């Protein structure tokens, strides 16, 4: 079947069996290998992406249900993709990715894309960044290296920076956006 | 990965026609069916029908003296529903224990009902609230009371061409419903024991009536512990009542040893949790 949707704001069209997993479409058909497969049965959250802003396990979503919707993957987080003239640097990452680097929130890296997407959904939710709220937001993402503490610190750090930026932007005369 | 053919009807009548022509495995949010496509849980289905586009199966509404939830209602929608929170908060509590956000955003109440796992987390709540499962096909709709819906291990009262359309929960004045799930951890756990207890009492000092005890993970299907209900009916939630009921429930259930727990543990913890719920209700 033909399915049209967006990935990281880019329109895509695929012609594939309707039951193909979104995870396989991203990795195999679209070449976006940032999203990882862990368990393949909705236990580990490694393949987490955002579907219309909500976290989903992409291993459990048939592509037939993605038509007309917006997918966001880890590739869509960084504001600028590196190229030959501009190799990647910390400034190219978004606030959450930088926080993961600074706190040591990533070790082997398999869970990291999913953790980042769960963290991104949490930051977008506007919920107060309490320890309990962050833990619930990443409850569907397993990590076997970090013990979670540094991941939670990273999300809290990103939330505090985001709040500070918003406050800055909200001050009279600063960064008018409307 | 096995990729059987899948049809995506855009209306309920079209879905009924397709189901009448050939047996299809229904897919709602995919949280059970996509796992089954890996083929590790037995032979995968030959044909699939994607119900996700059927808006007739969505929505939570209050219809007179009943709460009606469309089969495609997700756990996230239940958690965010003010109507559910106000009228049957046990639905919200149970939804919050299922998987984590990724599963709650996709998994559906109708899927939990039709998948018929003995460990289905919502099913004891439906048993304890006298829920009615409304099923549909080309022949029209019919209603199946929850206790008659799960007929054996992963077996249901559904005919091959029928699907779950909605779930209706009668609202009963002065009914209390309590829910508990015992798992290895709080998130992402399949239950060792899951239970919902309900009763009707006009005030805390009044004898319990219409007691219902729905249990999961303690038999080959979700069950009501009717012998234990009979022990509780007409009683006050006293220490004696709790002792008698917990002994009764341990004798009534038939749990098994499996990878998640042992029969002995399940028996002991079911009795203990029931005892505690009665104690909390009695305030002693």
Q: CA torsion sign, B100 to B105 to B106 to B108?
A: positive
CA B59, CA B56: separation in Å to the nearest integer? 8
Angle, vertex CA B260, rays to CA B259 and CA B263, nearest 5: 90
pLDDT tens-place values along chain A, 178 residues long: 999 999 999 999 999 999 999 999 999 999 999 999 999 999 999 999 999 999 999 999 999 999 999 999 999 999 877 778 877 777 789 999 999 999 999 999 999 999 999 999 999 999 999 999 999 999 999 999 988 999 999 999 999 999 999 888 876 654 444 4
How close does chain A come to B95, measured CA to CA in Å? 14
Pairing of strands B163-170, B209-216: unpaired
Q: Which residue in the set B5, B30, B100 is minimally distant from A140, CB to CB?
A: B100
- pLDDT category at B257 given cuts 50, 70, 90 is confident
How close does chain B come to A18, measured CA to CA in Å? 6
CATH number of A90-170: 1.10.150.120
Start-to-end Cα distance in chain A = 41
Integer CA distances (angstroms), B148 to A31, A160, B105, B155, in order:
48, 52, 28, 11
ipTM: 0.93
- Put simply, the answer to whether A21 touches B105 (Cβ < 8 Å) is no
Q: From start to end of chain B, where are the E strands?
A: 6-7, 25-27, 48-50, 60-63, 66-70, 132-137, 140-145, 150-152, 155-156, 163-170, 175-182, 193-200, 209-216, 223-224
How close does chain A come to B33, measured CA to CA in Å? 8
- The residue written with tokens 């053919």 in the block is B5
CA A157, CA B210: separation in Å to the nearest integer? 52
Q: Is the CATH number of domain A2-76 3.30.420.250?
A: no
Under 8 Å CB-to-CB from B226, ≥6 apart: which residues? Answer: none
* B12 backbone dihedrals φ, ψ, rounded to 5°: -65, -40
CATH number of B175-282: 3.30.390.50
Measured between beta carbons, which residues in chain A are less than 8 angstroms from residue B53? 65
Helix (H) or strand (E) holding A162: helix A149-170
Could you tell me if A48 lies within 8 Å of chain B, comparing CB atoms?
A: yes
For chain B, domain boundaries: 6-50, 56-170, 175-282
What is the strand order of the sheet B66-70 is part of? B60-63, B66-70, B163-170, B132-137, B140-145
Q: Which residue in the set A21, A48, A62 is minimally distant from B50, CB to CB?
A: A62
Say yes or no: do domains B56-170 and B175-282 share a fold: no
* pLDDT single digits (tens) B63-112: 999 999 999 999 999 999 999 999 999 999 999 999 999 999 999 999 99
Angle, vertex CA B256, rays to CA B254 and CA B258, nearest 5: 165
* B267 backbone dihedrals φ, ψ, rounded to 5°: -65, -45
For chain A, domain boundaries: 2-76, 90-170
Measured between beta carbons, which residues in chain A are less than 8 angstroms from residue B7? 18
Q: CA torsion sign, B115 to B117 to B122 to B126?
A: positive
pLDDT value for A65: 98
Angle, vertex CA A58, rays to CA A54 and CA A61, nearest 5: 90
Helix (H) or strand (E) holding A48: strand A48-51
- Put simply, the answer to whether A57 touches B100 (Cβ < 8 Å) is no
- Put simply, the answer to whether B1 touches A57 (Cβ < 8 Å) is no
* pLDDT single digits (tens) B171-196: 999 999 999 999 887 777 888 889 99
How close does chain A come to B166, measured CA to CA in Å? 20
Q: Which residue in the set B37, B50, B187 is minimally distant from A140, CB to CB?
A: B187
- Put simply, the answer to whether B30 touches A24 (Cβ < 8 Å) is no
- Put simply, the answer to whether B102 touches A56 (Cβ < 8 Å) is yes
Could you tell me if A27 lies within 8 Å of chain B, comparing CB atoms?
A: no
Can you give the pTM of this predicted structure? 0.94
CATH number of B56-170: 3.30.465.10
pLDDT value for A173: 52
Window A:87-146, CB contacts with B under 8 Å: 118, 121, 136-137, 139-142
Selected residue of B39, B102, B105 to mutate for chain A interface (largest A Cβ count, 10 A):
B102
% residues pLDDT > 70 (chain B): 100
How close does chain A come to B42, measured CA to CA in Å? 15
């Amino acid at each position: 079947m033909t399915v049209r949707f967006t990935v990281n704001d880019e329109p895509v069209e695929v012609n594939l069996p309707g039951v193909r997993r979104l995870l396989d479409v991203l990795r195999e058909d679209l070449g976006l290998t940032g999203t990882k497969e862990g368990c393949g049965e909705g236990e580990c959250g490694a393949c987490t992406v955002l579907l219309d802003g909500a976290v989903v396990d992409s291993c459990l979503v048939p592509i037939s249900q993605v038509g007309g919707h917006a997918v966001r993957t880890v590739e869509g987080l960084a504001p600028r993709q590196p190229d030959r003239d501009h190799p990647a640097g910390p400034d190219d990452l978004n606030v959450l990715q930088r926080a993961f680097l600074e706190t040591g929130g990533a070790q082997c890296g398999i869970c990291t894309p999913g953790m980042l997407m769960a963290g991104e959904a949490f930051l977008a939710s506007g919920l107060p960044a309490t320890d309990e709220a962050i833990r619930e937001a990443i409850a569907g993402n397993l990590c076997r290296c970090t013990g979670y503490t540094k991941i939670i610190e990273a999300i809290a750090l990103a939330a505090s920076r985001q709040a500070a930026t918003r406050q800055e932007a909200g001050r009279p005369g600063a960064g008018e956006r409307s | 990965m096995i990729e059987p053919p899948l049809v995506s009807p855009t209306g309920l009548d079209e879905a009924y026609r397709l189901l009448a022509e050939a047996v299809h495995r229904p897919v709602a949010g995919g949280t059970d069916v996509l796992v089954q496509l890996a083929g590790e849980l037995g032979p995968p289905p030959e044909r699939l029908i994607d119900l996700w586009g059927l808006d007739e199966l969505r929505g939570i509404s209050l219809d007179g003296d009943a709460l009606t939830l469309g089969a495609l209602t997700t756990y996230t929608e239940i958690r965010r529903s003010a109507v559910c929170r106000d009228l049957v908060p046990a639905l919200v509590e149970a939804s919050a224990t299922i998987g984590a956000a990724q599963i709650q955003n996709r998994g559906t109440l109708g899927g939990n009902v039709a998948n018929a796992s003995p460990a289905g987390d919502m099913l004891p709540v439906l048993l304890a609230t006298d829920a009615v499962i409304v099923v549909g096909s080309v022949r029209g709709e019919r209603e199946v009371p929850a206790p008659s819906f799960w007929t054996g291990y992963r077996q249901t009262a559904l005919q091959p061409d029928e699907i779950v359309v909605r779930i209706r929960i009668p609202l009963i004045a002065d009914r209390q419903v309590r829910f508990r799930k015992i798992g290895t951890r709080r998130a992402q756990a399949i239950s060792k024991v899951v239970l919902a207890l309900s009763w009707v009492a006009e005030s805390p000092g009044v004898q319990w009536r219409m007691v219902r005890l729905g249990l999961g993970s303690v038999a080959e299907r979700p069950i009501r512990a009717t012998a234990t209900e009979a022990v509780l009916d007409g009683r006050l939630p006293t220490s004696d009542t709790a002792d008698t009921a917990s002994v009764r429930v341990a004798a009534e259930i038939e749990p098994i040893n499996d990878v998640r727990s042992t029969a002995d543990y399940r028996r002991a913890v079911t009795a203990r949790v029931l005892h505690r719920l009665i104690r909390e209700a009695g305030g002693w």
